[in-house]
Amino acid sequence: MRAFLLLVCLVLSGCTNQIQTPENRVEQFYIFYLNALTTENTQHSSDSRQLREYVAQDTLDRLKYIQKIYEQEIVNSDYFTYGQDYTKEWIPGLKIGQAIDFMGGKSIDVWIGIQDGKKQHLVNYLRMEGGEWKIYRVRSATDNYEQYIFDDNAIAAAKTYAAGVKH
């Protein structure tokens, strides 16, 4: 009987290890994403399978929708780095903090390397989706700024502006 209980405990503990920690997911995402940004491939596009693996679907849908708005200024830099460009030499500056409970999900501080040996401090917000931790929101803590992709008023204003601008 003890052997059976031990076996059940081992099997159950193996099952709980299948869900990766939020920290692991964010680290895997940024390793993938920063490397993709520095190459000539499109693995970091909102349609890529790799991006869908790490980012919440509604976030990807919003980013895709906003990018189609002519002359929009909601997303004025890369959403996941808050930068205009990225170089491979900065990747070793990646540092992932500890997950903190936040509104039923997690928030994690992330530092990515940038020019002159500095770091960009980001906060990633995650929630469970399909049994995996996925990023649904990113904010720049360095600049205390957020690209408001979930602000319906900002999106409506961008659409109204785009309608009045000649293409």
The structure's pTM equals 0.83
pLDDT of residue 63 exceeding 70: yes
pLDDT band at residue 44, thresholds of 50, 70 and 90?
low
**CB proximity list for 28: less than 8 A, separation 6 or greater:** 20, 54
Q: Distance between CA 50 and CA 46 in Å, rounded?
A: 9
Report how many helices (DSSP H) and strands (DSSP E) the chain contains, helices first: 5, 5
Report pLDDT for 79. 95
Report pLDDT for 43. 56
**What token pair was written down for 3?**
């052997």
pLDDT band at residue 4, thresholds of 50, 70 and 90?
very low
pLDDT band at residue 18, thresholds of 50, 70 and 90?
low
Report pLDDT for 165. 82
pLDDT of residue 40 exceeding 90: no
Q: Distance between CA 39 and CA 132 in Å, rounded?
A: 27
